Amino acid sequence: MKKIIFFTFLFFLIFPHSNNSNSLYIFQNNLENTYHVKININKEIDNNYLNFIVNNNLTEKEIYNSLVIISHILANFNADFFEDFYNYNYQGLNINLVSNIIPNSKDLNVSAFSLDYQKKYSIVINVTKKPLAKILCHELMHIMEYNIQKEAEPFPNWESYNPPNFYYNYSYSSNYNFNYTLTDELENIYFLDYYAHSYPEEDRARIFENICAYQSKYSYYPNINNKALYLKEELLKYYPSLLKSKLFENLPITS
pLDDT tens per residue, the chain (255 residues)? 332 222 223 333 333 445 578 899 999 999 999 999 999 998 766 655 567 888 889 999 999 999 999 999 999 999 999 999 999 999 999 999 999 988 877 767 889 999 998 899 999 999 999 999 999 999 999 999 999 999 999 999 999 999 999 999 998 876 778 999 999 999 999 999 999 999 999 999 999 999 999 877 788 999 999 999 999 999 999 999 999 998 998 876 554
Helices (H), 186-255: 200-214, 222-238
Domain boundary, last residue among 132, 166, 181 = 132
Are 76 and 171 contained in the same domain?
Answer: no
Q: Are residues 176 and 105 in the same domain?
A: no
In a domain? residue 145: no
Q: Which of 134, 111, 158 is nearest to 210 (CA)?
A: 134
Give the CA distances from residue 226 to residues 190, 192, 206, 229, in Å, rounded to whole numbers and listed in that order: 9, 13, 14, 5
15 occurs within a structural domain: yes
194: number of CA atoms within 13 Å, CB side?
8
Residues 121 and 164 in one domain: no
Task: Judge if 101 and 192 occupy the same domain.
Answer: no
Q: Are residues 105 and 156 in the same domain?
A: no
126/5 same-domain check: yes
Same domain, 192 and 99: no
Which uninterrupted H or E stretch holds 100? strand 100-103
Q: Which domain does 246 fall in, by range?
A: 152-255
C-alpha 216/C-alpha 176 separation (Å) is 25
Split into its structural domains, the chain has a count of 2
Residue 146 maps to a domain? no
**Does residue 23 lie within any of the structural domains?**
yes
